Amino acid sequence: APVEGIELRRVGLPLVAPFRTSFGTQTHRDVLLVRVVTGAAEGWGECVAMADPLYSEEYVDGAVDVLRRFLVPRLAAAGRVDAASVAQVLAPVHGHRMAKAALELAVLDAELRASGTPLARHLGAVHDRVPCGVSVGIMDSVPALLGAVGEYLDQGYVRIKLKIEPGWDVEPVRAVRERFGDDVLLQVDANTAYTLADARHLARLDPFDLLLVEQPLPEDDVLGHAALARQIATPVCLDESITSARAAAEAITLGACSIVNVKPGRVGGYLEARRIHDVCAAHGVPVWCGGMLETGIGRAANVALAALPGFTLPGDTSASDRYYRTDLTEPFVLAEGHLGVPTGPGTGVVPVPEVLEEVTTWREWLPL
Ligand SMILES: CSCC[C@@H](NC(=O)CCC(=O)O)C(=O)O
Ligand SMILES: [Mg+2]
């Protein structure tokens, strides 16, 4: 059914605890949601951009602007558009992959709800639940970190990821290994905080049997990652560098990574994310599903994606209460370290109306 209109809506959600990474500390999320209304159904998408352009170049105000002035008008001008064609319709607009991904997911969700098809089935999921890892921020002290890690392990998370940066890397990793042992699945994420000159320092992580070191160098330093990978034993995983299936093929071919963190928002949507999954599978490269502190809307879609066969490492698909006291949707709750893949049509979740009204800070209806 043709799209009748699109609503842009921003919601404000406090985090249960500050989340510190190498590029800053977040205490609150300003989330842009996209709702697509067709004659047959309505679909929801979530833009993963943060308020500030510190993870990548996108930020919420910019996403709102590019959607209002460029992306939605192009979609309107294209007439009847299937979800499979959205990326092509939006392609003349350069970049803005997180904004595009939100729009594509909303169109896809509406389409799948109209046909009664779960997103997981549409994407090719083979599991009905996924193992969940958890991302642990940089903390004020090692004891505080060990307390947080112990809590998450008690909650059942099957893998621990530690945010690192120069000055907070070898010591916290050693402390976690000493406290929790060698069997805990453990990895680190630098969010581009190092340079190739830090190679010898990063090699000091090798004795700790980490699953991977995520995005140690700047996102545009693919050759640097290839050089680093030759100097350290820990497998290199890329996140910010992998902006498309082509970028994944290029990084793998150049030896820049042996594992990929797949984030649908970073690459322009769930359909491109599946293409990255397929490219990596073709190269024998394992993937896992990254996170951007999504509400239950993006979380539901990520869990569906994480159920594809090539997602062989636990992802950052944590329970809702990792970040939110009250999620926008019915909360995702960890069960034996796993989250169940939603079985309803589309993403299988919708915002809880009362919660949505309570947390909405801005909205605009764009008739098509
Ligand atoms: C937007 S800041 C978060 C980016 C970070 N994401 C996480 O650490 C996981 C966050 C989550 O659990 O959703 C990453 O670079 O992988
Ligand atoms: Mg990362």
**pLDDT digit string, tens, across residues 295-322:** 999 999 999 999 999 999 999 999 999 9
Whether 309 and 120 have beta carbons less than 8 Å apart is answered as no
CA of 215 to the centre of ligand 2 (A): 6
The answer to whether the Cα torsion of 296, 239, 310, 182 is positive or negative is: negative
Half-sphere exposure of 191 (CA within 13 A, CB side): 21
Strands 129-131 and 338-340: antiparallel
User: Which ligand 1 atom sits nearest the alpha carbon of residue 261?
Assistant: 16
| Whole-prediction pTM | 0.98
> Is 135 a pocket residue for ligand 1 (Cβ < 6 Å)?
yes
Q: Is 189 in the pocket of ligand 1 (CB under 6 A)?
A: yes
Residues 85-98, mean pLDDT to the nearest whole number: 98
Identify the helix (H) or strand (E) that includes residue 176: helix 170-180
pLDDT above 70 as % of the chain: 100
List the strands of the sheet with 236-238, edge to edge.
133-136, 159-163, 185-189, 213-214, 236-238, 259-262, 287-289
| Distance in Å, CA 82 to ligand 1 centroid | 30
Whether 133 lines ligand 1, by a CB cut-off of 6 Å, is no
**pLDDT tens-digit series, residues 3-21:** 999 999 999 999 999 999 9
Cα–Cα distance for residue pair 291/343, rounded to 1 Å: 21
| Cα 222 from Cα 109, distance rounded (Å) | 34
Mention every residue, 6+ apart, whose C-beta is less than 8 A from residue 147.
none
What's the rounded mean pLDDT across residues 331-342?
98
DSSP string across 144-162:
HHHHHHHHHHHHT-SEEEE
Asked if 163 is an active-site residue, the reply is: yes
Give the distance from CA 263 to its chain's centroid. Answer: 4
Pocket test for ligand 1, best of 27, 29, 189 (most atoms within 8 A of CB): 189
- For ligand 1, the distance from its centroid to the CA atom of residue 144, given in whole angstroms, is 20
CA distances in angstroms from 131 to 22, 40, 161, 337, listed in the order given: 26, 34, 14, 6
Model pLDDT for residues 138-162, shown as the tens digit of each residue = 999 999 999 999 999 999 999 999 9
Q: Which residues of 285-316 are buried (b: 16+ CB within 10 A; e: fewer)?
A: bbbbbbbbbbbbbbbbbbbbbbbbebbebbbb
Annotated active-site residue in 161, 163, 225, 274? 163
Residue 55: Cβ within 10 Å count: 23
Sign of CA dihedral 54, 151, 287, 230: positive
Nearest to 289 by CA among 324, 263, 253: 263
Q: pLDDT band at residue 69, thresholds of 50, 70 and 90?
A: very high
pLDDT score at 276: 99
Distant-in-sequence, close-in-space partners of 194: CB < 8 Å, separation ≥ 6: 166, 201, 202, 216, 217
Band the pLDDT of 1: cuts 50, 70, 90: confident
Mean pLDDT value across residues 119-123: 98
Give the atom of ligand 1 at the shortest distance from the alpha carbon of 293.
13
| Ligand 1 mutation target, pool 21, 165, 242, most atoms within 8 A of CB | 21
Model ipTM value: 0.99
β-partners of residue 13 are 29
Question: Which ligand is in closest contact with the Cα of 47?
Answer: 1
Q: What is the DSSP string of 82-141?
A: -HHHHHHHHTTS-S-HHHHHHHHHHHHHHHHHHHT-BHHHHHT---SEEEBEEEE---SS
Which two three-digit tokens encode residue 137?
């921020």
| pLDDT per position as a tens digit, 172-215 | 999 999 999 999 999 999 999 999 999 999 999 999 999 999 99
Average pLDDT, the chain: 98
Helices within 231-329 (DSSP H only): 245-253, 264-267, 270-282, 296-305
Those residues whose C-beta lies under 8 Å from the C-beta of residue 121, and which sit 6 or more positions away, are none
pLDDT digit string (tens) for 207-265?
999 999 999 999 999 999 999 999 999 999 999 999 999 999 999 999 999 999 999 99
**Would you call 161 a catalytic residue per the annotation?**
no
Q: Does residue 122 have a pLDDT over 90?
A: yes
Beta bridge pairs of residue 33: 9, 46
Ligand 2 centroid – CA 172 distance (Å): 18
